[in-house]
């Protein structure tokens, strides 16, 4: 079978034309896997699609109790008397949700596979959007996965979107109806006092205000959303002209979920759902006046159990890999050395002058600077303008005065005096110095997240004073985004509040550019940091186990050697003479 035939085995591609098939097949890269090699591991992001050309792949999963079960093999074994072709592919989530694999895939025999990566597929879709017309399930799955939320990360899916109960809307509307009733009664009483035309005008205006307030209340009620995803719990609150608030808590940071029900709302099943974490300086995350608190709580608990089970399986697999790697050091050092390639860094290309200038400008006024191991943010340009506009105006006024002097003979004579020149120099130095101070003060306040920590630095110009706070990523509990007004929403800047479990409490990134993306970046690095730490811990535990096994092996060798000496020791009469040559040394094993 050629590449096209293998791809055609998946019914998802049945509507693709031959030309589209050829474009898709061009993305496939052939890879080889030795027996025992992992094609994917549980928890890996589902960004690769596999078609097995030859060989056998075992799919296994670790359950919540830590026991491994085999869930299938690829190619699948056909059922008796079945005419269906065996399944030769896996990893279909690459085309849709990109959710992490919930199984391990290991090569049992030598395997040849065709592999399509998500990045390559995205590039193809951008170049050939017509392919999506033949694969409509991709757009449908993406819509279902994100529910329209643009902040959902790759591999993350929305499980539940809830809103406040209608009782919350009634609590907003009830005072308006009472006020409208009182106003209506008052208008009836006042019709005998004021002209009818005036009362009609007041009535129309009052109805307009009443309708506007009703609309605002409905908008405010419908715009509050409570979201549960496979990775976090989020509360999104929007007000019509003033505020957008988004606070998110990773699923694994939730300590408990409780509900509070009281009054008439409690009688009709309305309650507040309180989500507790270790670092909430501003109080717990609360889903207010929801009518399905028990359902939401159950879904959160299900996602917590799912995350725990997946991470337990990840740790188990990482431990097995670590033990296998450490054992190879002792048992197969030659094979390990042969497979270990030497990574030679490519020579650094000399940067072009355009790139140098671009990097220099970015370091001066950039709002977001992406570096190899960290991302740095500054306060928005709006804050820079608010700090420097007075000094700009002063410099512009000085320039305007110089233009007047150049065009006016009278002013030119007056400006020729040393006093005027001295005052002008002092004014220029003062205005330019103030501008430089404010700009340097804005530039020096930086807020960053690296591979290991969150960094908050506020520094006065020229190193006069500096305050720096760093918090390890594993101490970050949740991250809150606040866009204070409508202008901030359009200009895309706001506050980022980071709740920590340490004594630092809350870290504030004030008025930074694109705080929503900053929130997602922190969550992505938190997950990457957790996985790296888990791998390091598994490696240390694996090394300890292997050290114990090697020590046991050496002890057995020592015992066997001692026993052999005691049983095979020759008598004094049969000892070899000194000219019989040296006694050969004992064989030694690899050192620990």
pTM equals 0.74
Say how many C-beta atoms besides its own lie within 10 A of residue 231's C-beta: 23
Q: Between the CA of residue 473 and those of 37, 132, 307, 314, 565, what are the distances in Å?
A: 32, 39, 18, 20, 58
**Alpha carbons 460 and 439: distance in angstroms, whole number:** 11
Mean pLDDT by runs of 10 across the 592 residues of the chain is 63 82 88 90 88 91 72 78 76 88 90 92 90 86 88 88 90 90 85 81 88 88 89 84 76 86 77 80 76 90 87 79 77 60 57 78 86 91 89 85 73 69 81 88 91 90 83 88 85 89 82 90 90 83 81 82 71 49 42 40
Q: Are 13 and 137 in contact (CB under 8 A)?
A: no
Alpha helices in 89-165 (DSSP H): 118-127, 130-134, 136-146
Torsion angle, alpha carbons of 229, 231, 232, 238, to 10? -50
Q: Which pLDDT value is given to residue 336?
A: 55
Q: Which of 359, 365, 363 is nearest to 384 (CA)?
A: 365
Q: Which pLDDT value is given to residue 133?
A: 86
The arrangement of strands across the sheet holding 256-260 comes to 256-260, 271-276, 285-290
Q: Which pLDDT value is given to residue 65?
A: 66
Q: Which pLDDT value is given to residue 581?
A: 46
Q: Which residues make beta-bridge pairs with 258?
A: 274
**Alpha carbons 89 and 7: distance in angstroms, whole number:** 9
**Alpha carbons 153 and 569: distance in angstroms, whole number:** 72
Q: Which of 420, 440, 442 is nearest to 432 (CA)?
A: 440
- Classify residue 241 by its DSSP letter: S
Residues in contact with 349: Cβ distance below 8 Å, sequence separation at least 6, in sequence order: none
Q: Which pLDDT value is given to residue 583?
A: 39
Q: Which pLDDT value is given to residue 56?
A: 93
Q: Which pLDDT value is given to residue 556?
A: 83
The arrangement of strands across the sheet holding 48-54 comes to 29-33, 111-117, 48-54, 89-90
Q: Which residues make beta-bridge pairs with 479?
A: 248, 498
Domains and CATH numbers, the chain: 3-146 (2.60.120.10), 160-300 (2.30.29), 364-524 (2.30.29.30)
Locate the DSSP E strands across 92-193: 104-107, 111-117, 158-163
Count Cβ atoms within 10 A of the Cβ of residue 135 and give its class: 0-12 exposed, 13-18 middle, 19 or more buried. Answer: buried
The DSSP-derived string for 184-242 is: HHHHHHHTTTS-HHHHHHHHHHHHHHHHHHHHHHHHHHHT-EEEEESSEEEEEEE-SSS
Instruction: Report CA torsion sign: 15, 17, 20, 21.
Output: positive
Written as six digits, the tokens of 54 are 């030859």
489-493 LR contacts (CB < 8 Å, sep 24+) = 489/244, 491/380, 491/382, 493/379, 493/380, 493/382
Written as six digits, the tokens of 421 are 């020149």
């Amino acid at each position: 079978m050629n590449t096209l035939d293998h791809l055609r085995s998946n019914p998802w591609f049945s509507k693709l034309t031959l030309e589209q098939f050829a474009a898709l097949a061009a993305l496939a890269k052939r890879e080889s896997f030795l027996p025992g090699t992992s094609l994917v591991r549980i928890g890996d992001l589902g960004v690769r699609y596999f078609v097995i050309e030859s060989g056998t792949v075992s799919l296994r999963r670790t359950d919540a109790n830590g026991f491994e079960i085999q869930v299938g093999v690829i190619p699948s074994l056909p059922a008796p008397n079945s005419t269906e072709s065996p399944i030769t592919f896996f990893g279909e989530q690459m085309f849709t949700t990109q959710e992490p694999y919930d199984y391990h895939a290991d090569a049992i025999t030598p395997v040849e596979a065709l592999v399509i990566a998500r990045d390559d597929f995205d590039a193809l879709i951008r170049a050939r959007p017509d392919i999506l017309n033949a694969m409509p399930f991709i757009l449908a799955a993406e819509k279902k996965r994100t529910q329209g939320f643009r902040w959902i990360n790759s591999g993350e899916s929305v499980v539940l979107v809830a809103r406040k109960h209608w009782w919350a809307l009634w609590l907003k509307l009830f005072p308006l109806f009472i006020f409208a009733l009182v106003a209506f009664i008052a208008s009836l009483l006042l019709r005998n006092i004021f002209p009818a035309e005036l009362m009609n005008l007041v009535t129309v205006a009052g109805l307009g205000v009443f309708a506007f307030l009703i609309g605002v209340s409905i908008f405010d009620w419908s715009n509050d959303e409570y979201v549960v995803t496979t990775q976090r719990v989020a509360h999104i609150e929007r007000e019509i002209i003033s505020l957008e608030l988004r606070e998110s808590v990773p699923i694994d940071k939730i300590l408990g979920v409780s509900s509070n029900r009281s009054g008439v709302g409690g009688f009709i099943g309305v309650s507040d759902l309180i989500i507790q974490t270790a670092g909430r300086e501003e109080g717990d995350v609360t889903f207010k006046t929801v009518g399905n608190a028990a359902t939401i709580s159950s879904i959160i608990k299900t996602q917590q159990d799912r995350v725990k089970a997946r991470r337990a399986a990840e740790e188990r697999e990482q431990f097995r890999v670590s033990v296998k790697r450490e054992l190879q050091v002792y048992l197969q050092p030659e094979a390990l050395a042969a497979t270990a390639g030497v990574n030679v860094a490519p020579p650094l290309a000399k940067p072009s002058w355009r790139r140098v200038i671009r990097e220099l400008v970015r370091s001066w006024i950039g709002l977001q600077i992406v570096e190899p191991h960290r991302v740095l943010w500054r306060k928005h340009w709006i804050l820079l303008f608010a700090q420097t506009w007075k000094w700009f105006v002063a410099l512009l006024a000085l320039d305007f005065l110089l233009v007047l002097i150049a065009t006016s003979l009278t002013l030119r004579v007056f400006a020729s005096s040393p006093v005027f020149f001295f005052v002008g120099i002092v004014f220029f130095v003062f205005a330019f110095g103030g501008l430089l101070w404010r700009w340097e003060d804005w530039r020096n306040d930086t807020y960053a997240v690296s591979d290991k920590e969150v960094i908050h630095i506020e520094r006065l110009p020229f190193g006069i004073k500096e305050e720096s706070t760093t918090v390890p990523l594993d101490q970050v509990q949740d991250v809150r985004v606040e866009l204070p007004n409508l202008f901030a929403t359009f200009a895309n800047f706001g506050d980022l509040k980071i709740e920590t479990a340490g004594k630092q409490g809350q870290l504030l990134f004030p008025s930074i550019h694109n705080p929503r993306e900053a929130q997602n970046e922190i969550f992505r690095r938190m997950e990457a940091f957790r996985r790296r730490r888990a791998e390091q811990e598994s490696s240390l535990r694996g090394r300890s186990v292997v050290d114990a096994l090697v020590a046991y092996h050496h002890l057995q060798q020592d015992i066997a050697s001692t026993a052999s000496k005691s049983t095979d020791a020759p008598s004094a009469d049969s000892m070899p003479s000194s000219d019989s040559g040296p006694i050969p040394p004992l064989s030694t094993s690899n050192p620990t």
